[in-house]
Chains A and B, each alone.
Chain A
């Protein structure tokens, strides 16, 4: 996985913040039987919680028990750069997208990456 240098305090504050309606990010819960439900995501913390892809086995054999928390990786990369203003994280996401060839692997790597960034910001801002 790509290693991230420590963010600046300004970036950390933006990563920990919440954006307005016009700057929202779309996430879609893709579920068997129940359908695909659109949700709006307003913070990096919410991105971490939303991103998910259960195993294909569970997705295809367990009714509506499993689901995909889908955020388009390219849109996410752009959102991190343009809305959150974390160009380093955006570039790291891009590298993972290029390194991995499918969403399931990408989402796992990106989730770890964004989580790492979030934890860096928590530490930097000394948030308990």
Chain B
């Protein structure tokens, strides 16, 4: 089994039984998400349970490429189970994090971990190669994620210095390593069952969306530590090395070859660009295992390994208070990583609280009583108090630990604040990311799934690059027509140039149904099962590449096949993605999903009254109008309810699902070898007709 270790670790926290699952049984699903969904489907008989239920199963899966030299894929770990964050239903969901955990798990001899049951007392799992123990976590309970990791590192290594060799496990071969264990842990927020609690690994790798921190807390699982001394069988090491050099040379930034083409970057971005530099703060690049891009930084004053929203969520308030960004933002980043709180949700919560405070609804002695110091907004003091209340469920945190959607419901503000957009939760109670009214493939994919999809594949070439150039009065170096041609070439098996037509007609077309289907299938297999990082793939348009044609779809199977020795084509991977997407769909249906639920928050459909506080930003996208391609500002658009419903019918039909219910029909499931899934749906009277 090249690329695989052959074993999946199975830990029952209730019975304390530790066993293994033969990876071969699930190898057909590829890895990561595919295997996770398949195991969840097999092990969880009642899929409609709460995320807090002890019967919930959490899978933590790697891929055949984890721990190898394949770029921007080696370090990703996929987490699945019934989540806590989505509203109104706790959907079966997923999250993902980077770092070195996946590789270390493989070096220890495991393709993944399956967590079942609930421990009577707090425990952590100690994995040293093939030796696995459940350890009392009472001494760790209450510690933040960084303190927890330090304690575990010291306990496992027993060393004062990491330069020394340590013996791993007690095998007769006496394997040794100088590495320290990779630890995935929860902080106090997870222990206190917050629905917006994260899993944290090292300083700033977080599985944030979904609320898996609270799921672990409900299981009394504090951490998993793994240290491995083994290696991974590679089918063709020379081909893997050549593929990496090919990717770096032909598709990536290198010293001395910076392009002047200001366009979309995915695989080609410069190193260490993911997090902001704060004036006067020294830093150096940091990245996940084997990544060529290294999008994060290590700094001397804070914000270590944080990037994206983890680093940004408090910057605006900080800069507003101080006239420039200060170390308050960096300290705030570290604080949420240490307590284990989801930054994306927290940013939305802060903006919402500020609005309610300004309206006179929230504050000391107000309708919503709180002692949060709004005069200290922008100072570290404010965010520290808010996070402390959240993690301990004290004060306003007694409500907010349930997330913004459930808090709004409790406060009687859900309908009005979502209608006005003051609380911009667009799909399943998740904060709006890119707008479903304009960049529709993002919104459609999210509402058809379980969470903010957070997949940037089309975002850069179709929206962000043309929009930024337009704001600066510059021409994008590549025309809308060329972008449509390149994406059509790359989006096998559809190969439809109209897939990126974001015009008022295009967003309700069969072409857009193909876009969403391609995106769902691509991400389910290539990104979430094989682990290709969202910040590098899909690489459609690449300013360094010949003809600006990015590394997708050549790279994805090239690396995979070099490692596994199989001959999987890109299209076969897409078909596997379709299969996984249908399996996930079946799980959601068993949780109660119906097409009637797949609607956005009201503000998505309703034109706000024009005013100083309600305009829409420019949203320049690729459109095809009157037979011609162009970039056009589609900002200010709202979705038409009836047209979106008609579009859903087109999409369901394309997927082979019953348009009336949105449920897959037997023929569709059977064609993918999912007869047993059809039987399960049929037994619950939830199989689509037709």
Q: Which listed residue, B263, B359, B474, touches A21 by the CB 8 Å rule?
A: B359
With a cutoff of 8 Å between Cβ atoms, the chain B residues found around residue A38 in the complex are 351, 421, 424
Chain B residue numbers with a CB within 8 Å of A78 are 612
CA distance A23 to B460 in the complex (A): 34
Give Cα distance in the complex from A15 to B371, angstroms. Answer: 30
Q: Which of A5-50 contact B (CB under 8 A)?
A: 20-21, 23-26, 28-40, 42, 46, 49-50
* A-side contacts of B309, CB under 8 Å: 34, 64
B667 at the interface (CB under 8 A from A): no
B469 closest partner in A (C-beta):
A56
Taken together as a complex, chains A and B put the C-alpha atoms of A78 and B610 apart, in Å, by 12
Name the distance in Å between B353's Cβ and chain A's nearest Cβ: 12
Residues on A with beta carbons closer than 8 Å to the beta carbon of B434: 35-36
Q: Determine whether B265 belongs to the interface, using a CB cutoff of 8 Å to chain A.
A: yes
B433 (CB) vs chain A CBs: closest residue: A35
Stretch from A85-93, A99-107, A119-127 contacting the other chain: A99-107
Interface pair B262/A56, CB less than 8 Å apart: yes
B612 touches A24 (CB 8 A): yes
Q: Cβ of A98 < 8 Å from any Cβ of B?
A: no
Task: Please report the C-alpha to C-alpha distance between residue A22 and residue B454 in the assembled complex, in whole angstroms.
Answer: 33
Q: Is B468 an interface residue (CB 8 A)?
A: yes
* Segment touching A, from B12-20, B197-205, B266-274, B589-597: B266-274
**Contact call B320/A46, Cβ cutoff below 8 A:** yes
Distance in Å: Cβ of A79 to nearest Cβ of chain B: 5
Tell me if A68 counts as interface (CB < 8 A to partner B): yes
CA distance A64 to B454 in the complex (A): 14
B295: interface (CB < 8 Å): yes
Query: In the complex the two chains form, is B320's CB within 8 Å of A68's CB?
Result: no
A112 contacts across to B, CB distance below 8 A: none
Contact B265 A49 (CB under 8 A): no
Residue of B nearest to A52 (CB): B319
**Complex Cα–Cα for A17 and B405 (A):** 33
B269 and A101 form a contact (CB under 8 A): no
Query: Counting CB contacts under 8 A, is A109 at the interface?
Result: no
A26-B613, A35-B432, A38-B351 as given contacts; A59 in contact with B468, CB under 8 Å = yes
Interface residue from A39, A57, A101 paired with B262 (Cβ < 8 Å): A57
Instruction: Looking at the assembled complex, report how far the CB atom of B156 sits from the nearest CB atom of chain A, in whole angstroms.
Output: 33
* Contact between A30 and B617, CB atoms less than 8 A apart: yes
Q: B276–A33 contact, CB under 8 A?
A: no
Chain B residues closer than 8 Å to A102, beta-carbon distance: 470-474
User: C-beta contact mask, A46-72 vs B, less than 8 Å → 1, else 0?
Assistant: 100110010011011111110010101
The CA-CA distance from A31 to B617 in the complex, in Å, is 12
Q: Which residues of A contact B263 (CB under 8 A)?
A: 60
What is the interface of chain B mostly: helix, strand, loop, or mixed? loop
Min Cβ gap B2→A in Å is 33
CA distance A64 to B344 in the complex (A): 14
- Chain A residues near B460: list those with CB within 8 A: 32
Question: Which residue of A is nearest B617, CB measured?
Answer: A28
Q: Are A53 and B471 in contact, with the CB atoms below 8 A?
A: yes
Contact B273 A49 (CB under 8 A): no
Cβ distance A57 to chain B, nearest Cβ, rounded Å:
6
Cα-based distance from A105 to B468 in the complex (angstroms): 13
Q: How far is the CA of A32 from the CA of B262 in the complex (A)?
A: 14
Q: Confirm or deny: A75 has a beta carbon within 8 angstroms of a beta carbon on chain B.
A: yes
Q: Report whether A60 and B615 are in contact in the complex, using a CB–CB cutoff of 8 Å.
A: no
B613 & A40 in contact (Cβ 8 Å cutoff)? yes
A109 CB to nearest chain B CB (Å): 13
Closest A residue to B359 by beta carbon equals A21
How many residues of chain B have a CB within 8 Å of chain A?
Answer: 54
Taken together as a complex, chains A and B put the C-alpha atoms of A19 and B103 apart, in Å, by 54
As a 0/1 sequence over residues 598 to 622 of chain B, the CB contacts with chain A under 8 angstroms (1 = contact) are 0000000000000011110110000
Interface size on A (CB < 8 Å)? 46
Assuming A56-B474, A63-B269, is B464 touching A37 (CB within 8 A)?
Answer: no
The distance in angstroms between the C-alpha atoms of A75 and B613, with both chains bound, is 9
**A82, chain B: closest CB distance, angstroms:** 8
Task: Chain B residues near A30: list those with CB within 8 A.
Answer: 467, 617
A33 touches B275 (CB 8 A): no
Q: Taking the nearest CB of chain B, how far is it from the CB of A13, in angstroms? A: 20
B264 touches A37 (CB 8 A): no
Q: Which residue of A lies closest to B264 (CB)?
A: A60
CA distance A78 to B612 in the complex (A): 8
Over the window 352-382 of chain B, the binary record of Cβ atoms lying under 8 Å from chain A Cβ atoms (1 yes, 0 no) is 0011001110000000000000000000000
Q: Is B87 an interface residue (CB 8 A)?
A: no
Asked whether any CB of chain A lies closer than 8 Å to the CB of B337, the reply is no
- By a CB distance below 8 angstroms, the chain B residues around A105 are 473
Q: Collect the chain B residues with CB atoms within 8 Å of residue A65's CB.
A: 273-277
From A32, A46, A49, contact of B464 by CB (8 A): A32
Tell yes or no: B510 within 8 A of A by CB. no
| 8 Å CB contact of A75 from B307, B355, B535, B615 | B615
B496 at the interface (CB under 8 A from A): no
Q: Given A63-B273, A63-B307, do A26 and B615 touch, yes or no (CB 8 Å)?
A: yes
Instruction: Let me know if B274 and A64 touch, CB within 8 A.
Output: yes
B347 touches A (CB below 8 Å): yes
**Other-chain residue from B270, B459, B613, B617 in contact with A25 (beta carbon distance below 8 A):** B613
Q: Which residues of A contact B351 (CB under 8 A)?
A: 37-40
Q: Is the CB of B265 within 8 A of A36?
A: no
CB-based contact B473/A23 at 8 Å: no
Is B323 an interface residue, CB under 8 A from the partner? yes
B303 to chain A, nearest CB (A): 12
B612 engages A64 (CB within 8 Å)? no
Contact A64 B307 (CB under 8 A): yes
Determine the residue in chain B with the shortest Cβ distance to A66.
B276
> Judging by beta carbons under 8 Å apart, are B612 and A26 in contact?
yes
**Which of chain A's residues has its CB closest to B324's CB?**
A49
Q: A21-B359, A30-B617 are in contact. Are A83 and B612 (CB under 8 A)?
A: yes
Q: Does B312 contact A (CB under 8 A)?
A: yes
The answer to whether A36 and B465 have CB atoms under 8 Å apart is no
Q: Are the CB atoms of A64 and B323 closer together than 8 Å?
A: no
Q: Which of B469, B614, B618 is A26 in contact with, Cβ under 8 Å?
A: B614
Chain A residues, CB < 8 A from B474: 56, 102
- Given A40-B355, A59-B468, A25 and B612 contact (CB-CB distance below 8 Å): yes
A112 CB to closest chain B CB (Å) equals 16
> In the bound complex, how far is the Cα of B468 from the Cα of A32, in angstroms?
10
Least CB distance from A96 to B in Å reads 14
CB pair A42–B468 under 8 Å, yes or no, is: no
Chain A residues in 8 Å Cβ range of B264: 60
9 extra A-B contacts, CB within 8 A, seeds A21-B359, A31-B312, A65-B275: A26-B614, A37-B316, A39-B316, A40-B358, A50-B320, A56-B474, A61-B262, A63-B269, A72-B617
What residues of chain A have their CB less than 8 Å away from a CB belonging to chain B?
20-21, 23-26, 28-40, 42, 46, 49-50, 53, 56-57, 59-65, 68, 70, 72, 75, 78-79, 82-83, 101-105
Among all A-B residue pairs, the 3 with the closest Cβ atoms = A102-B473, A63-B274, A62-B273
Task: Offer 16 A-B interface pairs, CB within 8 angstroms, sorted by A.
Answer: A21-B360, A24-B612, A33-B459, A35-B432, A35-B434, A37-B316, A38-B421, A39-B351, A40-B354, A56-B262, A59-B468, A60-B263, A61-B265, A61-B269, A70-B617, A103-B473
